[in-house]
Amino acid sequence: MDYQTLTLQQVQNYSVLTLNRPDVMNALNAQMRAEITHAVGAAQGTSRALVITGAGRAFCSGQDLGGEGSAADLDLERTLRDEYVPMLHAIFNCRIPTIAAVNGPAAGAGANLALAADVVIATESAYFMQAFTRIGLMPDAGGTYWLPRQMGFAKAMGAALFGEKISAQQASDWGMIWEAVPDPDFDQRWRARVEHLANGPTVAYRQIKKALRGTFDQTLEEQLLTEAHLQGKCGKTRDFKEGVLAFVEKRPPSYEGR
């Protein structure tokens, strides 16, 4: 597929999806949402990890309020249900590990798109902002789901009500993202992280995602049984056998992702 609003590049055994509307700070329009959904699905078939980042000075400024007709006339319920939900599901339920490499401002739906990834790595000059109340709206695109889970209820409520910028370092300190990285080291750091995941035990990563995401809805006994079930699947993989053999032979493992 020829993408108009993003690029999808295969690098060794991982993919890099770059939001590519830098003139509007990579704002999300209908075409971009559809192309992200498609590209994430395509990456799963060819790669063992996926990075989502932005072209230019921003990661994503959120909903395109200037390029899709009058913003006030948008059917927001339909847009969220039919366009955002499939996109966010594609990222959140991706079968390979995902990293949001936040290279600059991430605002509104753009911030929450980043939070849909498994791991968020941001450059220190980046910031996150739940900008919705500035235009009379509430957080959407998964914000009301991810924020309280990742930064706690009190911080989530303040972020939603005040709509203030949260620096990358604050986001890291609050547990909202994995890490904030000095700007000069940013590209090298996220590439090292994605290479680590792309060369790791892919099936185990998939089970980790299932186990951690389901834990809030289960009792301890239910979670212990879930762990046993998912660990059983990991124990049947070639990667487990290779991991044990490498440990015994005192060498780095060479995982195949199966």
pLDDT digits (tens, 9 = 90+) for 15-27: 999 999 999 999 9
Query: Is residue 167 located within the same domain as residue 235?
Result: no
CA 1 to chain CA centroid, Å, is 22
State both tokens at 123: 């450059």
Query: Is 25 a member of any domain?
Result: yes
Query: Is 209 a member of any domain?
Result: yes
Q: What is the CATH number of the domain that holds 176?
A: 3.90.226.10
Query: Is 29 a member of any domain?
Result: yes
8, 39 in Cβ contact below 8 A? Answer: yes
- Which residue range forms the structural domain that includes residue 244? 202-249
Dihedral sign computed on CA atoms, order 94, 102, 208, 156: negative
Query: Is residue 26 located within the same domain as residue 128?
Result: yes
Q: What is the pLDDT along the chain (258 residues), one digit of tens a residue?
A: 899 999 999 999 999 999 999 999 999 999 999 999 999 999 998 999 999 999 999 999 999 988 765 556 678 999 999 999 999 999 999 999 999 999 999 999 999 999 999 999 999 999 999 999 999 999 999 999 999 999 999 999 999 999 999 999 999 999 999 999 999 999 999 999 999 999 999 999 999 999 999 999 999 999 999 999 999 999 999 999 999 999 999 999 999 888
Query: Is residue 107 located within the same domain as residue 183?
Result: yes
pTM: 0.94
pLDDT digits (tens, 9 = 90+) for 129-171: 999 999 999 999 999 999 999 999 999 999 999 999 999 999 9
Q: How many domains, in total, are found in the chain?
A: 2
Query: Is residue 223 located within the same domain as residue 185?
Result: no
Query: Is residue 166 located within the same domain as residue 48?
Result: yes
As to burial, measured by CB atoms within 10 angstroms (0-12 exposed, 13-18 middle, 19+ buried), residue 89 is middle
Query: Is 258 a member of any domain?
Result: no
Query: Is residue 173 located within the same domain as residue 187?
Result: yes
Closest CA to 31 of 2, 11, 54, 72: 2
Phi, psi of 236 (to 5 degrees): -95, 5
What residue spans of the chain are helical by DSSP H?
30-44, 76-79, 85-92, 109-115, 143-151, 153-162, 168-173, 186-198, 202-214, 220-235, 238-249
Query: Is residue 87 located within the same domain as residue 208?
Result: no
